Structure 1
Amino acid sequence: MVLFATVFWGVSGTAAQVLFQQDHVSPYWLVTVRMSVSGFLLLLLALSRFGFGSVFSVWKNRQDVVRLVLLGFFGLLGVQYTYFASIQYGNAATSTLLQYVGPIFITLYVAFRNRRMPRVRELTAIAFALFGVFLLVTNGNTRHFEVAPLAVVWGLLSALTVAFYTLYPQTLLKRYDPAILIGWGMLLGGLGLGLGENPFRMPIHTTPLLWLLVSFVVIFGTLIAFYMYISSLNHISASVASLLACGEPLSAAVIAVTLLHVRMGLPSLLGAVCILITVTLLAHKERVTESPPKIATPR
């Protein structure tokens, strides 16, 4: 289930790249549609599973409402928009790999919160991450960026928002099911973004392929992928799921190189390996006991 979820996420990013760079779809519009529709469908599934009272119980506590709104706008909306903006200026493979630097921000925050220096394993992971990002964006050439600077900036902001939305909702997760939180958060973020971008305003040139790609991003790349990932945590630990989630950047890279002819030199591929090593080091069981549980990134 984890591998299917991560492949769907990876293919979703590649589908978004086609929509942005070939069909000239706005990331603003795609994020609005994706979050609104996915949030609504997630809440419908949550209603069928938990009932009306459980799904709407979060609105009975004022503090939880504030936390939910912050999660929706700064967490879920933040990670969606920054990720897709990075793809618009770069490519799905690079943007997905940059987003996987997020655990580094989590590690630094946990060390700061506990008033301690990062451990050797964590410092090693940070070194791999920094070196991996350097190789990824320069392809080993220090004179110029292989990737557009805006793609790098948005990608690193995406990693930062991943850290925020992973750390922030821990209080809410103790009282509410993740499907309920993600459903409401995505619906709120989508509706809020819709105030500036009418989701019913169609792209200038619509084709059957365009709607097929949008449908894949919404249904498979968000709804089904999220439920598969969450369901897998009933059978395996979060650390194992995090390791298997490396299938996302791998699938995004394979599809981008083979189908979209994205060029990745040997130094860039080595940088990708360094970032995946980072995830492997930080997903070790010794760290899981200290860091908060991971929830799925609905990309």
Structure 2
Amino acid sequence: MTQQHHLRGVLLASTAGILWGLSGVAASTLFLSNPDLTANWLTQVRMISAGLILLVWCQLVGQQPFAIWHQRRSAGRIVSYGLLGLIPVQLCYFEAVRAGNAPIATFIQFLGPFIITLYFLLFKHILPKRIEVVGMVMAFAGTLLIVTHGQLNQLAISPAVLFWGGLSAVGVATNTLLPRAILPKYGPLAVTGWGLLVAGGFLMVLHPMWLAHLTITSFQLLLLVVIVLLGTVAPFLMFAHALNDILPTTASLLDAFEPLAATVFSVLFLHVQLTGFDLSGGLLIILAVMALSLNMHKLVLRFRRWRTNA
């Protein structure tokens, strides 16, 4: 791997994180400008549009997007990935943004890697190492600062933000773990594209988006395009290509650009007021996840050894 390729991977992964952060701010702007617009409706539009684009792209680059449905196990995995992975990581995140703001929702969602660590501990009996324990304490302290602002007898954010943000953090974990078994065989384009379509289709069955009585302005339509293309399709493709040039642990570290971008864009464009407790708590969570990411490859290796010896 040349230094030029490494730099390209770093730039791609960093830009992907920034665009994901921009997506949250665009969604927050939509909710503020159109109170009738729901997180469910926005998630359906995002998932179905982005899923179709990714699958068309998959076909154009010579892959076989329909091959994933030829085996029952892979088909079941893609359905579980869509319903249990993508719905909580996207719908619950938008619900948290709608109930609060993009920075706080993103900070809470960024706790997802620690849900993975707890999963390995509780279900695979893999004990966390010292750096992981330190990271979990830092993340808990950061979350406590955001949620209470130092006043332990009251909440500084609405319970809805905490609830939906917590579910989106769980979604980050399931979104990471569920497709792991089929990604090497079918590729990220097909897996993510079908996962998005399955998830969007399920939400559409529950509450079809065309039943919503909405009036969308040209500015709001532009925001929708930003969320689908710049906030979903483009960063996904960038991140997938970045993994060809840099290690997954490095890419995970660069995920920190997402909450940073959400914070900066929210302050600049939406004039969101964040307290010192919010910023300090968010910084603690980011540093904790970065520490965990540095050790994540060791955690995966231990999991593989556990499976071999089981």
TM-score by length of 1: 0.92
CA contact (8 A) 1:140 1:268 kept: no
The yes-or-no answer on 1:21 pairing with 2:35 is no
Give the Å deviation of 1:170.
1.5
The yes-or-no answer on 1:125 pairing with 2:135 is yes
Measured in 1, the distance between the counterparts of 2:207 and 2:104 equals 27
- The equivalent position to 2:55 in structure 1, one of 43, 49, 53, is 43
Measured in 2, the distance between the counterparts of 1:150 and 1:130 equals 19
Measured in 2, the distance between the counterparts of 1:237 and 1:203 equals 46
SS of the residue corresponding to residue 9 of structure 1 reads: helix
CA contact (8 A) 1:27 1:84 kept: yes
The yes-or-no answer on 1:31 pairing with 2:43 is yes
- The equivalent position to 1:183 in structure 2, one of 193, 210, 213, is 193
Task: Provide structure 2 residue ranges, at least 5 long, that are not aligned to the other structure.
Answer: 1-11, 302-310
Measured in 1, the distance between the counterparts of 2:145 and 2:277 equals 6
- The equivalent position to 2:296 in structure 1, one of 274, 279, 287, is 287
CA-atom RMSD in angstroms? 1.5
Measured in 1, the distance between the counterparts of 2:59 and 2:79 equals 20
2:59 partner amino acid: L
Measured in 2, the distance between the counterparts of 1:288 and 1:84 equals 30
Give the Å deviation of 1:114.
4.3
Choose between structure 1 and 2: higher helix proportion.
2
Give the Å deviation of 1:201.
4.7
The yes-or-no answer on 1:61 pairing with 2:78 is no
Q: Paired residue for 1:214? A: 224
Give the Å deviation of 1:17.
0.8
The yes-or-no answer on 1:275 pairing with 2:274 is no
Q: Paired residue for 2:307? A: none
Measured in 2, the distance between the counterparts of 1:172 and 1:155 equals 27
Measured in 1, the distance between the counterparts of 2:167 and 2:14 equals 25
Measured in 1, the distance between the counterparts of 2:46 and 2:213 equals 14
Measured in 2, the distance between the counterparts of 1:60 and 1:205 equals 41
Mapping for residues 71-220 of structure 1, pairs under 5 Å: 71-201=81-211, 204-220=214-230
1:137 partner amino acid: V
- The equivalent position to 1:261 in structure 2, one of 252, 268, 271, is 271
Give the Å deviation of 1:218.
0.5
Give the Å deviation of 1:155.
0.3
Tell me which stretches of 4 or more aligned residues in structure 1 moved more than 4 Å. Answer: none
The count of aligned residue pairs is 289
1:275 partner amino acid: I
CA contact (8 A) 2:47 2:197 kept: yes
Give the Å deviation of 1:291.
2.3
- Cα deviations across residues 188-217 of structure 1 (Å, max 9, x unaligned)? 111111113333456533211110001100
CA contact (8 A) 1:32 1:197 kept: no
SS of the residue corresponding to residue 206 of structure 2 reads: coil
TM-score by length of 2: 0.89
Task: Provide structure 1 residue ranges, at least 5 long, that are not aligned to the other structure.
Answer: 293-299
Measured in 1, the distance between the counterparts of 2:72 and 2:296 equals 33
Mapping for residues 222-261 of structure 1, pairs under 5 Å: 222-261=232-271
Measured in 2, the distance between the counterparts of 1:10 and 1:117 equals 32
SS of the residue corresponding to residue 75 of structure 1 reads: helix
